[in-house]
A = this chain, B = another copy of it.
Amino acid sequence: MSVLEKVLSHLDSDRENALDRLFDFLRIESVSTDPAYAAQCVKAADWLVEDLRSIGFTVSRRDTPGHPMVVAHSGGDGPHLLFYGHYDVQPVDPLELWDRPPFDPALEETDTGTVIRGRGASDDKGQLMTFIEACRAYKAVTGALPANITILSEGEEESGSPSLIPFLRENADELRADYALVCDTGMFDADTPAITTMLRGMVSEDFTIHAADKDLHSGLYGGAAINPARVLVKALAGLHDDNGRITLPGFYDGVSEVPAALKAQWDKMGFDGEAFLKGVDLSVPAGEQGYSVLEQIWARPTCDINGIWGGYTGAGFKTVLPAEASAKVSFRLVGNQDHTAIQAAFRDYMQSCLPADCTISYRNKDGAGATNMPIDAPHFEQARQALSDEWPREAVYVGMGCSIPIVGHFQQILGMDSVLIGFGLEDDQIHSPNEKYNLSSFQKGARSWARILNAIT
C-alpha cells in the first residue's frame, strides 16, 4: 500500500470525526460584517488555532484592527506552499427563508445526494477543512507533511478584507511561498473538478456629463439647449459595433484567442450555453459574434453599463432638460490587456464625444488587469492529474468572468501565483439562505487535496 493509499484510507476511516470537527466549526457564528459577532469571529480563529496545533502546526492568532488572522507553519521539506481560506461567513438574513437554523448544521438527503446544510458549509469553512483534513491524515499516517505548508486564514473576506493588505505587507517575508493554494472556487459540475486559471480584470468608470447650470424646462429650451443625456447615450452607444466588438482604439491589444488545446478541453466539457442563459430567462448570447458563450464569459473582454441615470426618474412626467447625466461603465479585461491604457482610451473617447458646452467629471476607481495562471508550470498539470484520479471525469482548466482579489494581492504583494482549486457547486447557495456543501465535495475534496499534496513536487 503506497503512502497515498494509506492517507486516503485514513481519510475514509476518519470520516465521522472529520464531520464532527466541521460541524463544531460551523456552529460558530463568525459573521464578519456585523460587529455584534466580533467575539464569534475570535472564537472561530481560536478554534482553528487549536485544531491546527493539534495536527502539529506552529500556529498563532494574529490580531488586526479588525478580526484576527490565523497563521500556521508546518515547516519541513518539499515545495513551500501558502494555503489560503477564510473562517468568516456571510450574514444569514433573511432568516425566515432558512429551512433550519443556519448555525445548527446537519446532514440532509436531497435529490442530488447528501448535503451538509448550514451557513459557511461551502463558503468557506467546508472548503477550508477539506485541506486541513488532508493535512491531518498525512500527518497521522506519515508523521509529517509532504510539503512545507503555511496556512493563512482570514476573518474578513465577507466584509471587504480591510486588514488583509496591511497584514500581507507587514508579514510578506513570513508568508511568501513558491505559490499559493486558494480554496474558494468551485467544480465545473458535480462530476468534473476544475482549476480556475483565468480571471478577468476590470476597468470601471463612474462619471457625469455636465451641461447647463441647472435643469431646464424642455418647452422653453428644448431644441436649443444641449441635453447631456443625449450626449451620454450617443457616447455609450458608440462603444460597441454591430458585431458586439468594443470600438475603443487599441482595446483588443493583448487579447489572444484561447489556445487550441484549452479550447478543445472546453469544448469537451459539454457546457450548455443555452441552459446557462435560460436560467435567467434569456436565450441568445449577446456578446461578440463568433465566440461561444463560455468564451464570451471567460475569455473575451466586455464593456457593460452597470448604471445610468439623469433627469427626472420619478412617477409621471416632468419635461425637464437635465443639467447632467451619469453612468457607471465597466470593462472586464482578459489576457494582457493594459487596464491603464484602456482607461485612457475610454476617457479620450468620451472627451471626443463631448460637444461644446459639455464637460465630464470622473469619480475615481482603480483598475486591474486580468490574471492568467502559468499553466505550463509543472504543478498545474500535476494537480490536474491528481484531481482527475479522484473524480468521475477528468479535471479541466476553467476561466472565471470576475476577479478574486486575494489572487491579485498575492501577486502584487508577495510576488506569488495562485492555484485555484475548490469543490463548491453552482447550487451551493452561498451568500443565500439554505447554504449547503455536498458531502461528496467535503469527503472527496479532502481526498483530492491528499492526492494533490502527494503529486506536486
Binding site for B on A (CB under 8 A): 200, 202, 204, 206, 211-214, 216-227, 229-230, 232-234, 236-238, 240, 273, 276-277, 280-288, 293, 296-297, 300-302, 304-313, 316-322, 325-326, 328, 330, 332, 355-357, 365, 400-403
Query: Can you report 17 A-B residue pairs in the complex whose CB atoms are below 8 A from each other?
Result: A212-B280, A212-B281, A218-B302, A218-B306, A219-B332, A222-B332, A224-B273, A224-B285, A224-B287, A224-B297, A229-B308, A284-B357, A286-B357, A307-B313, A308-B313, A309-B313, A313-B328
Contacting pair B308 A309 (CB below 8 A) = yes
Contacting pair B305 A230 (CB below 8 A) = yes
Contacts of A297 in B (CB 8 A): 220-224
Contacts of A226 in B (CB 8 A): 282, 284, 286
With A273-B224, A297-B220 given, is the CB distance from A304 to B284 under 8 Å? Answer: no
Q: Which of B326, B355, B403 contacts A219 (CB 8 A)?
A: B403
Contacting pair B312 A328 (CB below 8 A) = yes
Contacts of A365 in B (CB 8 A): 317
What's the nearest-Cβ distance from chain B to residue A279, in Å? Answer: 9
Give CA–CA (A218, B212) in the complex, Å: 33
What's the nearest-Cβ distance from chain B to residue A151, in Å? Answer: 27
Contacts of A401 in B (CB 8 A): 217-223
What's the nearest-Cβ distance from chain B to residue A352, in Å? Answer: 14
What's the nearest-Cβ distance from chain B to residue A63, in Å? Answer: 28
With A218-B304, A307-B322, A321-B304 given, is the CB distance from A225 to B332 under 8 Å? Answer: no
With A216-B280, A224-B277, A297-B224 given, is the CB distance from A232 to B230 under 8 Å? Answer: no
Kindly list 11 other residue pairs between chains A and B, CB separation below 8 angstroms, not including A223-B297, A225-B286: A212-B282, A217-B402, A222-B401, A223-B401, A229-B304, A229-B305, A230-B240, A286-B355, A286-B357, A306-B312, A307-B311
Contacts of A287 in B (CB 8 A): 223-224
Contacts of A284 in B (CB 8 A): 226, 355-357
Contacting pair B306 A318 (CB below 8 A) = yes
Q: Which of B233, B285, B332 contacts A236 (CB 8 A)?
A: B233
Task: Please indicate which of the listed interface residues A216, A223, A283, A293 has the most CB atoms of chain B within 10 Å of its own CB.
Answer: A223
Contacts of A355 in B (CB 8 A): 284, 286
Contacts of A237 in B (CB 8 A): 230, 233-234, 236-238
Give CA–CA (A247, B279) in the complex, Å: 37
Task: Please indicate which of the listed interface residues A224, A238, A316, A325 has the most CB atoms of chain B within 10 Å of its own CB.
Answer: A224
Contacts of A224 in B (CB 8 A): 273, 276-277, 285-287, 293, 296-297
With A225-B277, A277-B224, A310-B305 given, is the CB distance from A233 to B230 under 8 Å? Answer: no
With A284-B355, A332-B222 given, is the CB distance from A308 to B310 under 8 Å? Answer: yes
Q: Which of B225, B276, B317 contacts A206 (CB 8 A)?
A: B317
With A204-B319, A307-B320 given, is the CB distance from A288 to B402 under 8 Å? Answer: no
Contacting pair B357 A283 (CB below 8 A) = yes
Q: In the complex, which residue of chain B has the Cβ closest to the Cβ of A329? A: B229
Contacting pair B400 A219 (CB below 8 A) = yes
Contacting pair A218 B282 (CB below 8 A) = no
What's the nearest-Cβ distance from chain B to residue A369, in Å? Answer: 15
Task: Please indicate which of the listed interface residues A211, A230, A283, A297 has the most CB atoms of chain B within 10 Å of its own CB.
Answer: A230
Contacts of A216 in B (CB 8 A): 280
What's the nearest-Cβ distance from chain B to residue A241, in Å? Answer: 11
Contacts of A319 in B (CB 8 A): 202, 204, 304, 306, 330, 402
Contacts of A402 in B (CB 8 A): 217-220, 319
Q: Which of B213, B218, B283, B332 contacts A218 (CB 8 A)?
A: B332
What's the nearest-Cβ distance from chain B to residue A301, in Å? Answer: 8
Give CA–CA (A400, B217) in the complex, Å: 12
Give CA–CA (A355, B287) in the complex, Å: 12
Give CA–CA (A307, B282) in the complex, Å: 27
Q: In the complex, which residue of chain B has the Cβ closest to the Cβ of A213? A: B281
